[in-house]
A and B are shown apart, each in its own frame.
Chain A
Amino acid sequence: MKTCLVVDDSSVVRKIARRILEGMNFHIIEAEDGAVALEACKRALPDAVLLDWNMPVMDGFEFLVQLRRLPGGDQPKVVFCTTENGIDHISRALHAGANEYIMKPFDKDIVVAKFQEVGLLALDAPTDA
Chain B
Amino acid sequence: MTPPDYEYLRKLLKDHSGLDLSADKQYLIESRLLPLARKYGLSGIPDLVTKIRGGAYIPQVVEAMTTNETFFFRDKVPFDHFRDAIMPDVLKARAARRSVRIWCAAGSTGQEPYSLAMCLKEMGATLAGWRVEIVASDLSQEVLEKSKAGIYSQFEVQRGLPIQMLVKYFKQSGELWQINPELRSMVQHHQLNLLHDFAQLGVFDVVFCRNVLIYFDQDTKINVFNRLARSMEADGFLVLGAAETVVGLTDSFKPVPERRGLYRPNGARGLAAAMPRVAVAG
Contact = CB atoms under 8 A, between A and B. Distances in A.
Interface of A: 85-87, 90-91, 94, 100-103, 106, 109-110, 113-114, 116-117, 123
Contacts of A113: 71, 158-160
A101 B160 contact: no
B162 to A, nearest CB: 5
Given A91-B167, A94-B164, A86 B172 contact: yes
Contacts of A116: 76
Interface residues of B, number: 15
Contacts of B167: 87, 90-91, 94
A128 B172 CA distance: 33
Nearest to A91: B167
Contacts of B278: none
Given A91-B167, A94-B167, A102 B158 contact: yes
Interface of B: 71, 76-77, 154-155, 158-160, 162-164, 166-167, 172, 175
B163 A90 contact: yes
A57 to B, nearest CB: 26
Contact of A103 (B76, B154, B164): B154
A106 B154 CA distance: 10
Contacts of B172: 86-87
B154 A123 contact: no
